[in-house]
Each structure stands twice: as structure tokens, then as C-alpha cells.
Amino acid sequence: MRKLVVWNLMTLDGYFEGTKPWDIDFHNLVWGPELRKYSEQLGEEGDLLVFGRKTYEGMAAYWPTAEDDDNIKQYMNNTAKIAVSRTMKEPGWNNARIVSDPVCELQRLKEQDGKTIFIFGSAELCDAMLKAGLVDEIRICLVPVVLGAGNPHFKAATAQRPLRLLEATPLKTGAVILRYEPASAA
């Protein structure tokens, strides 16, 4: 059985991007050798990436021509990908397909053999998967900055979602990588 893991960078005040889409300059505050190594480890751990439409479109526009590190670029371009959308017709990125019902599809994929399934970014998709009880782990790189406004990673909920801390790893940049599992999975 596969795990579904949410991964994102987030500010101290809870935002994964600023007030405009792809306003993620705060990532540069913590990017360095430790986070690069962690990103490469994610590439070794997972074999499927899932994105909401907005995140997918941004990633598909960036990674094919990125000048970034070869290992991470290869992983992002070569790994199987799912774009969750009801409006997209063509994925337009290597090794990708479109899914309109992520709950059914991810539930089915989790039951199969394989490596970890990652959701990168995609706050609305993460929220839907949390509500559906499909998320096995949440990994957040907490960036030591307060934006004051932006798009929150965790959306408003009608009830508390208790989490259990699995690991906290401080980085030399001042960031902390936090690993949690939903308390119901403990």
C-alpha cells in the first residue's frame, strides 16, 4: 500500500504563496544545500506527483526549461504526474495525465504497490484530500518569515484536524522541516 504525502514550503503566518499566484520569493530565504538534499531524497522516495490545476500549470511552465539542478529537474520532468482538473484537455507535460475525480483516483492508487505519492503545493487539492481522509503525512518546510497576507496553505475547516508530530528537523537557514501524520492514522 502506498502513502499519500503533502509537501510544501509555508511562512510562519501560514501562507504558501503571497497575494499573487506564484509569489514564492520567500523560498529563496531557505533554499540551500540542506533543502536541495531533502528535495533529492523526496525524488528517491516517490514515483508519482499530483498537482491541482493551478500548481500543475506553473510547474509545467517552469520545469521543462529550468536551469536548476539536474537531479531535481530530471525528477520533476520524468516522474509520472497527475493534473487534477475538470477543465484541462491536454496535460502538455512529459509523463502526465489529467484526472477529474482525485478522491477516487488517489484512493485506487494508494491501494496499489509503489512508492510514495506526493502532492506538491496545491492547497485546495490538499484540503480536499485531508477532508477525504486520504492524507497519510503532511510535510511542511516552515520558512522563518511573516508575509502578512497571501494564500493560506491550510484552508478553513469546520472541525479541528489533530496531527501527531513525527519529526522536526531544523536547517541552517533557520527553516524547520516538520513531519506530521493525521492523529486518526496514529
pLDDT tens digits for range 9-25:
999 999 999 999 999 99
Contact assessment for residue 23 and residue 145, using Cβ atoms and an 8 Å cutoff: no
Q: Does some domain include residue 87?
A: yes
Distance between CA atoms of residues 168 and 154, nearest Å: 19
Kindly compute the dihedral angle of the four CA atoms of residues 22, 149, 180, 53, in this order, to the nearest 10 degrees: -30
Would you call 161 helix, strand, or coil by DSSP? coil
Q: Which residues pair with 11 in a beta bridge?
A: 143
Boundaries of domain holding 99: 4-12+33-182
Q: Does some domain include residue 27?
A: no
> Which set of grid coordinates corresponds to residue 3?
502513502
Domain count, the chain: 1
- Confidence class for position 186, pLDDT limits 50, 70, 90: low
C-alpha triplet 140, 123, 85: angle, nearest 5°: 135
pLDDT of residue 71: 87
What is the per-residue pLDDT across 57-102, written as a single tens digit (0 to 9) for each?
A: 999 999 999 886 688 999 999 999 999 999 999 999 999 999 999 9
Q: Does some domain include residue 146?
A: yes
Contact assessment for residue 142 and residue 175, using Cβ atoms and an 8 Å cutoff: yes
What b/e readout covers 17-32, taking b as 16+ CB neighbours within 10 angstroms? bbeeeeebebeeebee
If one counts every other C-beta atom within 10 angstroms of the C-beta of residue 94, the result is: 14
Q: Does some domain include residue 71?
A: yes
- Residue matched to cell numbers 486520504: 134
Residue 44's nearest CA partner among 82, 74, 6 is 74
Return the CATH number at 44: 3.40.430.10
116-120 and 163-170 beta bridge pairing? unpaired
